[in-house]
Every structure is written in C-alpha cells, then in structure tokens.
A and B are shown apart, each in its own frame.
Chain A
C-alpha cells in the first residue's frame, strides 16, 4: 500500500518535471520590486522586447523589497538556483555580495564588468554603476528613490504664502500658518507638515542637515553625535513648540492626509509623487527639504540607484539572453519610457539633457534635490543601523527617551547589532578546521533521526506483516495503521527535513558570510539566547498574549455557539455574519483595525470620547499597542472556536438536557455538567492547537504594531526573533531561538494532553 503511494507520487513528480522541460524558448526570470505604477510600464516594455526577440521569454515576478532579498538569497545561495535577473535598490547589493555560492568564493551576483564592454558602461553616470568591493554588481536604470518636500500650492495660497520654505526657520513659521482647525471643533484638521515618523529613512535628512554622518571612514557607526541630538530636538520642536506635525504619524496617515488635502506639506519619496500630481485635492509643488541655518547645510536625504544584477550561476545560452534583457531594460528607450510615465531620473548620461528631463519641472526639481543628496551606503551593516535607529526614533516620538538618550541608544544598539551580525565569522586567514567536530555532530543528528524513524517503522512493520494468528489486537492494528498511514506520510514527509535542518543549523555559527561554509559550534547559540535578559521579558509578553487571546477566543466562541445552537429565528444569518472575521483575509482587516486604533482619525477613540472616556494614543505606547494587537487577534480568532463549538454541540442529544431539566438543573448547571463534558473531547485539541498557533502567530502583531512599534516593545517571541535575528541573517541564532520556542511548546502541550486525557481512547 505504502509502496504504491510512493510510486504514484514519484510518477506524478516525473510527469510534472517533463512538462516543464519541454520548452523551446530561453526563459529569463526577473524578480523586481517595482511599485504598481512602474509595473505597467515594465509590462509594455516586456511585450516589445519579446516581439523583437521571439526566442526569449521574459518572466517577471513582483515581490516586496524584503521578500526579494530573502527569496533571492534562499534560491541563489542555498539551492544554487533563482532568477537570472534581480532588480532592486542598490543597498541590496551589499547583502548579496556577502553571500557566496556553494564551494566557491564567488558571490551570488555576478561582477558585471566581465560581461560587458567598457564602452557600454561609459554611457552611464557614475552613480548608475554600483561599485562595491572592487566590482560593478548592479547596473541602474534610474537614480533617486529619494525624499523631497512636497507641498500643496492651494493650501499655501489659502494661508497667504507664495513660495515653499527654504530654511528650517521658515519651515516652522510657514508650518504654523498652515496648521489649522478648519471647522472650529477644537481639533486640528489641517497639519502644516507630515511624514512617516516610524522609519529612520525620514530622519536621515534632519540628521545630515545638522552635519551628521552614519559611518566614519572605518565604517563604524557615528550615531550619537551632536547632529543626531539636534535632529531629534528639531522633531520635538515641531511637535511640542510649534505644533505643526501630528502626535502620531505612520506612512499611511501621512500619505492619506496629504493626498486628501489635510496636510500642507509632506516629506516623501519620488515613488509617491505621481499619485499626488493626480490627486484632485492637491496642487502639486516640489522643493528641496530646507536648509539648516546653523550649519549652512541642506537636509540631505539618501539617494540610491535602482537597477539590475545578474545571478552568477547563469551560464551559456541563458546568460547571453539575460545580458540582452539587461541591456534592453537599461537602454535609452526603456529609461525614457519610465521617465515619461513615472518621473524617474534616468541613469544614462545621454538622457540628462534630454527634453523629457529638461522640460519637466518635477524632474528638474527632483534633480536639484539629488544634487544635495547622499549616496545610500551599500554595506550590510546599514541594516543593523536601521534596526538600531528605528526604536530610538520611535521612543523619542513617544516621549519615552530624550534626544540625548535616543542618540546614545542608537549608537550602542548599532554597534551591538553589527557585532551580532558577524558573530561566528572567521577572521581573515583563519582556516576552516572544524570538519571533524562538524561531521561528528551531523552524524549524531542523522543517527538520532534515523533511530527514531526506525523505532516507528519497526512497530508499523511488526503490526503489518508479522501477524500472530487470530490475534484480534493485531488484526485491529492492521486496519488502523492502513487508515492512518496516508495522512502520516504527507504530514511527516513535509516536516521531517525542515525540522532536522533547523536542528543542525541551531548548533552552527551560520550567518550571512558563511551560508555554505558554516561550522558546528555546539550549544553556544542556545546559551546566547538564554543569557539575554530580553528573552525573558518577551517570553512573558508572549504568555500574556497567548493566554488572553485563547481565553477570549474560547469563551466568546463557546458562548455564541451555545446561544446559536437553540431555536432562534435568523440564526443562519447571524452565524454567517459572525463568521466574517475568519472569512475575510486577515491582512486587510488587521490593517483596518490598525486604522481604527489611530489616535486622531480612528473609530475607537471616537467611540471612547462619545462615551465620555478619554481618548488614547493607542499605537504609540507599548502597552496600549500590545492591547490593540490582542483585541484585533481576538476578533480574528473567535469565529473559529465558535464553529468548532457549534460542531461539538451537535453530539449532545436533546434527551440529555431534558433529563437534566427533569432533575431540576439550572441553566448554569446544565452547561457545567452536560455541555462542557460533552464538548470537551472536541474542544481540548482545538484549544491546545489554538494555543500553539497563537503563541507563534507573527502576522497580526506585526501588522497592527507595524513590526513591533513603538520601539520594538510590542513583540512576542516569533516577531522578536524575526526582527532581531532573521532580518540580520543570524541563521544559527534564529534557528536556536526557534528550537527553544518549539521546546517550550512541546512541554506545555504534553502536560495539557496528559492532564486532559485527550489521547485516551474511549472504547
């Protein structure tokens, strides 16, 4: 039986791979992270390319910036595959260069100077050729991705202002004139200035305006300088003294309020401008982010190139096709198209003086901003810097750190995180000499795995083939084993490899520099996890999160199920409506809830104030942000428990209730002594699994708190490990961390299962 299944599976696999192999055209895959408006241009370009090159098929796939990074790394570094071309901002080059192919010193992206002639490169502006560690790894089709100050000319006119601010002082004064309570209800409904406070990318211009630099010459972070403090103080000044910016502002709030004419100025990137130009509420104006008088410096946003890199495992015919595609997508024709339709700044020298650029006021102004911009650092260390600055910025905005404290905090954290990223990397010249230890551990791991599997299979084989004559027990077993095997094959087939993989990685020093040359280092990653204080506080939060969520899921679910299990006109409709939180994709409803928790525009505060309760800054304080995430998750999860309970209640026949009624039982007594014992066999596994799922549920907390905001204080274990380890490619540490999560859960559920007797058989 088992053999047949395996054979069928193999045949299926084979037929699928044959189907895929039958292609005459050379396929070139391109992964990109273009915004929706850009993708339409890309699509048109692809059609043209394919019409001209009928033997090449260009397959494009959009992913988010982070998904591209991790996806490409997984494909290229871990399996030697991946798309031929990968498009993205230039800082991804740093994270790709550092990862090496299996059994070679080659990076996962190819040096382009070997592939094209110098004449070809000469056509590009210097910033368009992304040099890193002595090679050109990326060729840009545009420059920019930079912030600038966008203003609404209409609102400026209404306030009697004729031009945008040029200095910070003017920004503050103009801002005051533009901040208004238009309907006179005591609440501000037009802000002078907005931007996304939650991301340090928007803090950089102020930081550089006061003379700050992210790194010194030796690539050490310098984030606690006078400039860092002054930049924070400026934000405080805007919020508390001049009151020209709202108390709370993330990307969506900033974007929507400017787009709907509720903010006069916004600091935002070139990707957003087309949308504002098209908005009926906005009369579009663009200018440089102002100058700081004290230093005489313009606030300089990061400027980066965006472009294409080639997978270094591509060879032969496919490589030729890939080169052709890259040449086409960076050509004058392609760049002009993008420039015309999405206002990107081209990277070709020849287009700099082209009428498309010259005669466009937006592009002209954009170029003026680029002039005073700074090139985005490419090194992977920048990721650690972002992760260090983010909580500092958010704590300062929430008022829990002073400017000085925030500056010191980000410096300390950046240093720590950079050290952690490289923990386990061998120094120059150090030889890889741990092969024996490694082999021993791997052998032990595999042996252990095989032993467990062997025990399991031995039992099965005994049961299946060595039947003792007429033994009822064994005949029984055969039937049961046959019934259970197909499901077991699917489940364990999927789980076993990832599990042992993780186990081995958790004993290793794997990080981004040694994905194909890591060593086994024993339990040191585990020790590191346990020695960090933050682990215990996050564990405590995770337990609170799990207990509160599961408690409300179950009580609300069972309660509603009991109510809806009686004869009640309209109950079918109610059931369906109560199911909606489960039915609608959680991604959008979680963000809707986030919107409802917004301090100034959200429905929750509106209800609170109408009830005479004080409004809360839900999302900018750690405790309330955590509560907001829990409320959202309770909302999402109760329908599931309700449905389970509804099903479980069907196993109780009316006679039992009638008998109980005859004995004079009250409603509570009936619930306690009839309902609960009867639904228990179904509910206990559901609750146990519900607990496990909730414990590891990263999505909701991530979406509602926008990745642990404020200041990485609203994390549960999984979101913490994602932020602190996975994000910084600390594979060994992340694997050890998840093994620990796993062990905690195993201990928990085995205890519950023992106590509740759910594995017992009734017969």
Chain B
C-alpha cells in the first residue's frame, strides 16, 4: 500500500493535504502579519499577509528591550527537565502497566485517568496553598513537579498502549537468552517503542513550554519568568502590545517545530519494527 500509489491518487491526496495545510497555516500567517505591523493593532480590514508598512521592529524590541533571552533560558531549563522526566518515568511505568500483573495495577491505571478529570481552573487555589506551604514559591522545582504531574498520566497511558502492540515473544526470547528483565526492556522493547517515545517527548515538551497559569502563581520575579509568562506580561487590562506578543508567539513556536522535525526521524521508524517481526 505504501509503495504503489497511482498518479491520479497522488493528485487527490495532494489536493486534500494542501487544503488542510492551508487551513492550518492561514491563522498562523495572520499572527505573523500582526507581528510585522507597526503599532499595536490586533485587527485590520486589510487581508494582506505582509502589511504595506511591514517592519521587524517588534522582533528587534523583543530581543533587545525585554529580558527575552533570560526567559528563554528559564523555559529551556524547565522544559528539558520535564521532558526527560516525562519520557523516562512514563516509559518505565507504561511498561509495568502493559506487561506485568501487580496488585493495584487496574486501580493505578484508572486513577491516572481520574487525575485528569478535575477541572484545573478549580484546583488552582488548593494548588497554590500547597505550593506555598511546601515553600516552592519562586522555585523552578515547584514548576517542574507540577508540569511533570500534568504530562505523566497521558504519557504513561500512551506508552502502555504502544507496548501493548509489541509482541511479548520478543522479551521472552531475550529472557531465554539470559537477559535480565530490565535489560530486555531497555535493549529490546524500548528501541521498538521509539514512535511512542517521540510523542511522549513532544507532549511533555508542549505541556511545559506553553504553560503560564501555574507559572503565574509560582513565579514572583520577572527574571524567573518562562517565555509564556513573559509574553503574558505584554498584555494589559485594556491595552496589549499585540505586535510584541505576536512576535513572541512566533519565536516561541520555532523550537517546537524544530523539535518535531528532529524527532520525526524516529516517528517513521516502522522499518525497525518490520525488521524484527517474524
């Protein structure tokens, strides 16, 4: 199926894909337009993508007038840590839930889901009280724990679901060869689960990278801000620096796109899997 596609099919597929690409790109182009426009206008009658009086002023201001690079550093620090925690712990826990029978397994799986069901807006107050009593106000550690707890349940379920599709005969073979349980997991199964690891990484990354509601509760110093919190500070109650905000939004998306490009190598690793299947 993947190898033979008729030319006619190609045309249809391209038409469909391009249609969806257009829809996903257009609003983002509008954001770029706002970032290139001088002054702080969110709306305009003009439908031009590149405004007549286009300028990079906002991008320059972003990097020179604002402590943007500091925010980038903070965000990178927090996000990378959360991504590592998310991928490592989820790949382990997901494996346990997929392969092993242990007391509390079902309860555990269900409660993972259940943690996601409470409306987060309503939890802000008790979360704040907790963070504050633990003395985690103004520490990245507090943020990292919060974000990891947000990202992990989904990542665990995802990993568990993916491990389920890998035949258990593989570890059994490894065990027969004398490998320990952990070695079998680490050396045999984990490489096969690369596509799921990619998604878990991307998801953990996004959780931490774009979050500002909890960050706004935890961080009281402007030089500790993460990027989304920094962007939020461009908003006033009535007046918002839309140009700067849009420029910041575009800049903050670039690492996400880059990460995805970098990771997509492993997202197509069906080959690896094909080679070990009987």
Contacts and interface: CB of A to CB of B under 8 A. Distances in A.
Interface string A672-699: 0000001001111110110011001010
A721 B3 contact: no
B55 interface: no
A74 B148 contact: no
A623 interface: no
Contacts of A75: 128, 132
Interface stretch (A112-120, A133-141, A164-172, A649-657): A649-657
Contacts of A684: 161
A95 B109 CA distance: 42
Contacts of A661: 1
Nearest to A506: B122
B239 A275 contact: yes
Given A494-B149, A574-B17, A718-B121, A592 B25 contact: no
Contact of A476 (B21, B102, B231, B273): B102
B122 A483 contact: no
A655 B168 contact: no
A668 interface: no
A487 B117 contact: no
Contact of B236 (A36, A643, A758): A36
A650 B269 contact: yes
Q: In this complex, which of B102, B128, B202, B269 has the most chain A Cβ atoms within 10 angstroms of its Cβ?
A: B102
A272 B40 CA distance: 12
Contacts of A60: 222
Q: In this complex, which of A462, A477, A693 has the most chain B Cβ atoms within 10 angstroms of its Cβ?
A: A477
A252 interface: yes
Interface stretch (A154-162, A291-299, A325-333, A744-752): A744-752
Q: Could you say which interface size class chain B belongs to?
A: 35 or more
B249 A256 contact: no
A596 B43 CA distance: 9
A595 B30 contact: yes
B115 to A, nearest CB: 5
B92 A487 contact: yes
B176 interface: no
A35 B102 contact: no
Contact of B222 (A61, A479, A651): A61
Contact of B17 (A564, A572, A587, A737): A564
Nearest to B155: A487
A29 interface: yes
Interface string A687-717: 0110011001010000000000000000001
B173 interface: no
Interface string A57-78: 0011111110100010011001
B50 interface: no
Interface string A637-651: 001000110111111
Q: In this complex, which of A462, A606, A654, A658 has the most chain B Cβ atoms within 10 angstroms of its Cβ?
A: A654
B91 to A, nearest CB: 9
Contacts of A189: 45
Given A35-B238, A682-B161, A74 B125 contact: yes
Interface in B223-278: 228, 231-241, 245-246, 249-250, 252-253, 256-257, 260-261, 264, 267-270, 273-274, 277
A126 interface: no
B75 to A, nearest CB: 12
A668 to B, nearest CB: 12
Interface string A572-589: 101111111111111111
Interface in A227-273: 251-253, 256, 259-260, 262, 269, 271-272
Interface residues of A, number: 153
Q: In this complex, which of B117, B146, B162, B253 has the most chain A Cβ atoms within 10 angstroms of its Cβ?
A: B117
Interface in B121-175: 121-130, 132-139, 141, 145-146, 148-149, 152-154, 156-158, 160-162, 164-166, 168
A586 B210 contact: yes
B111 to A, nearest CB: 7
Given A486-B89, A490-B89, A580-B25, A678 B165 contact: yes
B28 A74 contact: no
Interface string B42-71: 111101000000000000000000000000
Contacts of B145: 490, 493-494
Contact of B165 (A459, A596, A603, A682): A682
Contact of B162 (A681, A731, A753): A681
A585 B249 contact: yes
A584 B122 contact: no
A484 B96 contact: yes
A486 B130 CA distance: 20
Contacts of A107: none
Nearest to B213: A699
B128 to A, nearest CB: 5
B162 A651 contact: yes
Given A460-B104, A487-B89, A576-B257, A749 B113 contact: yes
B98 A761 contact: yes
A734 B122 contact: yes
Interface stretch (A307-315, A363-371, A497-505, A518-526): A497-505
B117 A742 contact: yes
B149 A13 contact: no
A593 interface: yes
Contact of A650 (B154, B236, B267): B267
B73 interface: no
B89 A473 contact: no
Contact of B119 (A34, A580, A721): A721
B237 A589 contact: no
A592 B27 contact: yes
Contacts of B97: 480, 484
Contacts of A259: 39, 41
A106 interface: no
B89 to A, nearest CB: 4
A482 to B, nearest CB: 8
Contacts of A94: none
B195 to A, nearest CB: 4
A566 B5 contact: yes
Contact of B252 (A67, A253, A585, A603): A585
Nearest to B86: A487
B53 to A, nearest CB: 10
B171 to A, nearest CB: 9
Contact of A591 (B42, B96, B231, B261): B42
Contacts of A33: 236-237
A2 interface: no
28 contacts: A12-B141, A13-B134, A35-B239, A37-B239, A59-B220, A271-B239, A477-B101, A479-B181, A483-B93, A574-B17, A580-B25, A583-B253, A585-B231, A592-B27, A643-B267, A648-B161, A648-B162, A648-B195, A655-B277, A661-B1, A685-B157, A685-B158, A686-B158, A696-B118, A718-B122, A721-B122, A722-B121, A759-B109
Given A64-B235, A491-B152, A738-B122, 4 more contacts: A35-B239, A490-B149, A566-B5, A585-B249
